[in-house]
């Protein structure tokens, strides 16, 4: 029977030094215990797509081998499933493995926004859109924590690159933070209450995230009502005293005795209120208390069942980008040639702290050969893979392709291209792989390309060579079998892109503002991130956000949208018009055609994945609220609904819209405060200030009528400037009187 851990009783008996020690880890993976008071140390360990528990004899930095665990698809693949129920089940499996290994907290998920496809850690993140990231992040947190273990929502906030990540300052305006980079975190915190939130390495507008009171206390706790513990990313704390004052609770990993001593000294000299330390220590004790039942349980997990779940998830997250002429699915393996080293040496996860030691590993080549005989040629070498002569390998691939009915070419990014700690060197595939594809396509036009990569790669230079392209991302340990299922039609593809695939890096929103310079990265694209950028600026892309084909087809009908105040109900009927079962991701976008601020052409606000048999129809309904119509007002510093026309669009991608409805929404008055520095245009637009100013601002008769140019110029002038011109009857005293009258209402 688990002994009750009385947090308040324990806290009351701790010394100042012991309380300070609780705000640091005891080593790389454990919290600090206090044996005298009966406080155990508990273990946290890396995720997020699989448990990475280091054995006791592991290296100090925690970068060596880990215990065997199921390597599920990375977030890039899980996100592309758009399947909340499936991701919840993956979370439950992760929770079972975490609990079975006596670990208190799995360090994930990551919901940072994919600002640029070159971010080296994009494979760990869900989407370029905060709604998708927030919904699927919520699902995996709920799943994991349903098993009695915790999660760590990361990396809070604006950690969108690996270059100089431990020092760089992300310079980003509040509206952009509120609309793009914070909502995924907000959604997970409010809907799932992760046990911990992990602060990022970087600075946000000049202040380290670990010392950022606005982020950790004012937003996370005061606004979002976060109840758990804030832990640092490993090595993100530079001074624990201001970090505690800002809202950090636990510094990881252990950093020697000095930080503890500095905390004790700060309390004794009055520069840190002991009550602040008590709050942090209590949160650490709360985490330990809620962890103990799971840690003390004698649990195991079904290795085979988890592998099959990983296989299902890998298939669900794969995206069929192209399928000209219905080349896929293949009728059988007869006459098929497999080309590409990735077929036998699969790229299935990213590099860095998330590397999992899989319980088993399926290669695509083995999975296809289990179905039937086929020819294979490696075609090229990959960094970190088997050595070889690329010229000879290319020639061998051409000979194999020449005699085949269909070629399946496995291409992708080498492991060293994508990792925590640094960003990608290029958007495209390696030259040796593209050269093989070109040579193969010259002798056999029936080419299927299967991609393995953690973030978008450019396909523009070679996609015309392949009638079919299947993007599998990094599909985890069962990804090889999942690919075979999709190629042979055992499963129908149902994944959709959660990130746009651009033609060129020069087309991307952050180009010119990434990765920054002199320790600063400027988020100059503002709210136009991902598809918001491409669609608003009408930039041509290779494949749009939300795109993904199936082996069947879907029809959208009866699209409706009705408003009740700022609540909007959206409905649509989806019909499977093809001959096989499949699933469609229905996407709901909102457009504000005319606004006082720049708004994206459209923004995703809701989605649902609908599985349908051939000929089956289903009505789906969505409810949108005021927040879905709002923007963050930079002057009022709050969410506002600006009244007027809104357009609700329902479709299969951000550029494949199947129905739209225009609505009139009654918003709120957004006149703002009038001051002497408000422009004449702002004064005249104000319902109170406009008539007052019009009556007071009468131009002298000798000026004559003002032409359109002069009127337009005056509209942009602050009222104070006009008053200072000394026009008859309108001076500073008059203006001050008007300001007071407007303020009085």
Which residues form the catalytic set? 233
Name the residue among 652, 651, 631, 582 with its Cα closest to residue 610. 582
Instruction: State the number of CA atoms in the 13 A half-sphere of 258 facing the CB.
Output: 5
What does the alpha-carbon distance between residue 16 and residue 23 come to, in Å, rounded to a whole number? 11
**Number of DSSP helices (H) and strands (E) in the chain, helices first:** 23, 26
**Cα angle 609, 116, 62; round to 5:** 90
Q: Which residues contact 548 (CB under 8 A, 6 or more apart)?
A: 80, 319, 320, 321, 493, 494, 495, 496, 497, 585, 653
Structure tokens at 41: 């140390």
Q: Which residues contact 53 (CB under 8 A, 6 or more apart)?
A: 43, 45, 66, 67, 69, 101, 103
What does the alpha-carbon distance between residue 556 and residue 575 come to, in Å, rounded to a whole number? 7
Longest dimension (CA), the chain: 96
- Whether the link from the prior residue into 699 is cis, omega within 30° of 0, is no
Q: 610 with 152: CB under 8 angstroms?
A: no
Q: How far is CA 445 from CA 48, 327, 470, in A?
A: 40, 11, 16
**Cα angle 208, 211, 212; round to 5:** 80
Structure tokens at 37: 């008071």
Distance of CA 445 to the CA centre of its chain: 37
SS (H, E, C) 594-622: CCCCCCCCCEEEEEEEEEECCCCEEEEEE
Structure tokens at 724: 């200072």
């Amino acid at each position: 029977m688990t002994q009750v851990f009385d947090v308040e009783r324990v806290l009351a008996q701790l010394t100042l030094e012991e309380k300070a020690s609780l705000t640091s880890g005891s080593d790389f993976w454990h919290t600090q215990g206090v044996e005298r008071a009966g406080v155990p140390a508990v273990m946290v360990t890396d995720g997020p797509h699989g448990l990475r528990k280091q054995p006791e004899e592991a290296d100090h930095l925690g970068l060596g081998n880990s215990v065997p665990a199921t390597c599920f698809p990375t977030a890039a693949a899980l996100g592309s499933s758009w399947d909340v129920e499936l991701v919840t089940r993956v979370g439950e499996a992760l929770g079972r493995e975490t609990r079975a290994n006596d670990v208190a907290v799995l360090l994930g998920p990551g919901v940072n926004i994919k600002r640029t496809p070159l971010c080296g850690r994009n494979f760990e993140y869900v989407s370029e859109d905060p709604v998708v990231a927030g919904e699927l992040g919520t699902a995996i947190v709920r799943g994991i924590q349903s098993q009695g273990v915790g999660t760590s929502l990361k990396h809070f906030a604006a950690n969108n690159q690996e270059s100089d990540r431990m020092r760089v300052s992300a310079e980003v305006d509040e509206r952009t933070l509120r609309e793009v980079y914070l909502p995924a975190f907000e959604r997970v915190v409010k809907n799932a209450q992760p046990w911990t939130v992990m602060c990022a390495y970087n600075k946000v507008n000049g202040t380290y995230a670990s010392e950022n009171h606005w982020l950790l206390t004012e937003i996370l706790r005061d606004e979002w009502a976060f109840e758990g513990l804030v832990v640092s990313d490993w090595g993100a704390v530079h001074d624990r005293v201001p970090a505690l004052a800002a809202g950090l609770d636990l510094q990881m990993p252990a950093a020697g005795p000095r930080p503890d001593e500095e905390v004790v000294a700060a309390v004794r000299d009055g520069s840190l209120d002991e009550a602040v330390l008590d709050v942090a220590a209590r949160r650490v004790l709360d985490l330990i208390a809620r962890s103990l039942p799971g840690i003390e349980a004698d649990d195991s997990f079904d290795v085979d069942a988890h592998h099959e779940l990983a296989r299902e998830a890998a298939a669900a997250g794969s995206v069929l980008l192209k399928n000209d002429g219905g080349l896929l699915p293949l009728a059988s393996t007869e006459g098929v040639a497999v080309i590409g080293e990735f077929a036998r040496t699969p790229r299935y996860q990213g590099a860095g702290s998330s590397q999992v030691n899989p319980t088993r590993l399926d290669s695509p080549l083995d999975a296809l050969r289990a179905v039937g005989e086929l020819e294979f040629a490696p075609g090229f070498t990959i960094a970190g893979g088997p050595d070889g002569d690329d010229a000879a390998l290319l020639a061998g691939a051409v000979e194999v392709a020449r005699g085949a009915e269909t070629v399946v070419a496995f291409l992708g990014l080498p492991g060293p291209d994508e990792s925590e700690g640094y960003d990608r060197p290029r958007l495209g595939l390696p030259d040796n792989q593209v050269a093989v594809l070109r040579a193969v396509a010259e002798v056999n036009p029936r080419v299927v390309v299967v991609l393995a990569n953690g973030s978008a790669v450019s396909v523009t230079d070679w996609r015309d060579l392949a009638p079919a392209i299947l993007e599998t991302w990094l599909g985890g340990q069962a990804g090889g079998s999942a690919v075979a299922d999709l190629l042979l039609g055992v499963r129908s593809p149902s994944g959709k892109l959660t990130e746009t695939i651009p033609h060129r890096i020069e087309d991307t929103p952050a180009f010119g503002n990434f990765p920054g310079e002199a320790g600063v990265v400027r988020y100059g694209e503002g709210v136009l991130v991902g598809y918001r950028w491409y669609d608003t600026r009408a930039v041509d892309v290779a494949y749009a956000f939300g795109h993904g084909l199936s082996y069947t087809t879907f029809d959208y009908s009866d699209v409706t949208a009705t408003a009740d105040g700022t609540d909007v109900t959206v409905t649509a009927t989806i019909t499977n018009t093809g001959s096989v079962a499949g699933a469609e991701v229905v996407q709901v976008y909102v457009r504000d055609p005319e606004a006082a601020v720049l708004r994206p052409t459209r923004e995703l606000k809701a989605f649902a994945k609908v599985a349908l048999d051939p000929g089956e129809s289903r009505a789906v309904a969505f409810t949108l609220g005021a927040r879905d119509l709002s923007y963050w007002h930079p002057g009022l510093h709050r969410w506002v609904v600006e009244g007027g026309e809104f357009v609700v669009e329902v479709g299969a991608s951000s550029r494949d819209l199947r129905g739209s409805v225009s609505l009139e929404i009654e918003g709120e008055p957004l006149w703002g405060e009038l001051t002497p520095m408000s422009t004449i245009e702002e004064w005249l637009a104000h319902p109170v200030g406009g008539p007052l100013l019009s009556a007071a601002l009468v131009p002298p008769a000798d000026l004559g009528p003002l032409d359109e140019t002069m009127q337009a110029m005056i509209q942009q002038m602050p009222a104070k400037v006009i008053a200072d011109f000394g026009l008859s009857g309108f001076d500073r005293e008059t203006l001050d009187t008007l300001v007071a009258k407007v303020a009085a209402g």
